[in-house]
Amino acid sequence: MNRERSVSRECAVSVLGSFGFSVGGKPRHGLPHGSQSLLAFLALRDRPVTRTAIAGTLWPEASEEHAHASLRSAVSRLNGIRRMVVRVSFQELCLADGVTVDIRDARLLAHRVLNPGTGRDSDVNDRAISTLSVDLLPDWYDDWAVAEAEEWRQLRLHALDALAARLTASGRYADATSAALAAVKAEPLRETAHAALSESTWQKATEQKPWRHTNTT
C-alpha cells in the first residue's frame, strides 16, 4: 500500500487551462476521451463517487447499461496506469491517494484569499493572480464540465476581487491592477472588478506624481 501511494504521488491530473495527465513530471498523451473525462471528473471530487453517479453524469444520453459499459471501458483503457491513479471498489471510484490535482490546490488558494483569517502573506503574489486567471476545461462542452467551469469562474472572480483589494491596501498597485484586469477579462461587465481596477490605477498614478515632480524641477 505504501509503495502504491508513493507511486501515486508521482501522478498529476490537471484541469486548469486544459486537461493533462503526467507521471513523474512527464506528460502522458493519447488517453481516450472517455478516460480523460473520468480522470477530470474524479479530480473535481474530493471523495469517492458511486459508479452509477459517474456513469449517469459522463454518459447522460446513454441507457444505464451502456453508460456503465462506457465507464468500465474508460477504466480499463487506463491500462497500466490505473492502479497508480484510480482507486476502484465494487460500488465507487476516486483518485488514488497522493495524486496531485491542480484545481484542488487552486480552490484552497481562492478560499484562503477570501478568508483573511486563514490567508497567508505568501498567497498575495503574482503566482496567485496567475492561478486565479485560468479557466477550467475551457474547450469542454459536456454539461457537467460547463457547470464545474462556471462554479470555478465565480469562485476565482470573487478571489481576484479580494486579492486586488488586499494588494491595493498593501501599496502593491501594479499587482493589484493585474488582479483586477484578470477579473475584467473573465467577466468584462463585472462592476466590482472595474472599481478595483480604477482604484489601483488611481492609487498608482497618485503615488508616482511626487516622483515625477521631483525629477522635473
Identify the three-state secondary structure at position 107: helix
Whether this prediction's pTM lies above 0.85 is answered by no
Write down the architecture of domain 2-98 according to CATH.
Answer: Orthogonal Bundle (1.10)
Backbone φ, ψ for residue 13 (5° rounding): -115, 130
Contacts of 158 (CB under 8 A, 6+ apart): 110, 114
pLDDT at 217: 45
**What residues does each domain of the chain span?**
2-98, 103-214
Backbone φ, ψ for residue 93 (5° rounding): -135, 150
d(CA 194, CA 69): 49
pLDDT at 168: 87
Encode the chain (217 residues) as per-residue pLDDT tens digits. Answer: 444 444 566 899 999 999 999 998 999 999 999 999 999 999 999 899 999 999 999 999 999 999 999 999 999 999 878 888 999 999 999 999 999 999 999 999 999 999 877 656 778 888 999 999 999 999 999 999 999 999 999 999 999 999 998 888 888 888 888 898 889 888 876 666 566 665 666 556 566 555 444 454 4
Nearest to 13 by CA among 35, 1, 203: 35
Count CB neighbours of 191 within 10 A: 8
Q: In what order do the strands lie in the sheet with 92-95?
A: 49-50, 92-95, 86-88
Q: List the grid coordinates of 154.
A: 465565480
Q: What angle do CA 137, 116, 155 make, to 5 degrees?
A: 20
